Amino acid sequence: MKNLARPGIATDLELGSRPNSGSAGGSGYAGIDAVGELEPGLLQEHAREVSDSALLTYLRRATEEAASLARATDYPLLVLPELFAEKAAEAFLQLEREIRQRSQGLVALAG
């Protein structure tokens, strides 16, 4: 049998070799942390459209939360994009609420 191992590619995909060390939830998969590789891409995709540093901070937090939740599932790569979309929507709403509250405070001071 040929040795198909290539540098930089995880070859120890045996179940139970290192419990919970990979990105496939609690299945004991010991491989590449694909969620960790997908996470920055999701953030960058949305960060291009954002000029507000506060919103970018919220999006970073949303990305981290979504990745953390995804890693706790059996299919993290499948659920990560949807979790991120939900967390990003929550981030937009939270920032909008904060801006509205600050604006109401300014209007009250001016009136």
Mean pLDDT in order along the chain per 10 residues (111 residues)? 46 39 45 77 80 84 93 92 93 89 78 62
Contacts of 62 (CB under 8 A, 6+ apart): 84, 87, 88, 90, 91
> What is the pLDDT at residue 32?
54
**What are the residue ranges spanned by the domains of the chain?**
36-110
Instruction: Say which amino acid occupies 11.
Output: T
> What is the pLDDT at residue 9?
42
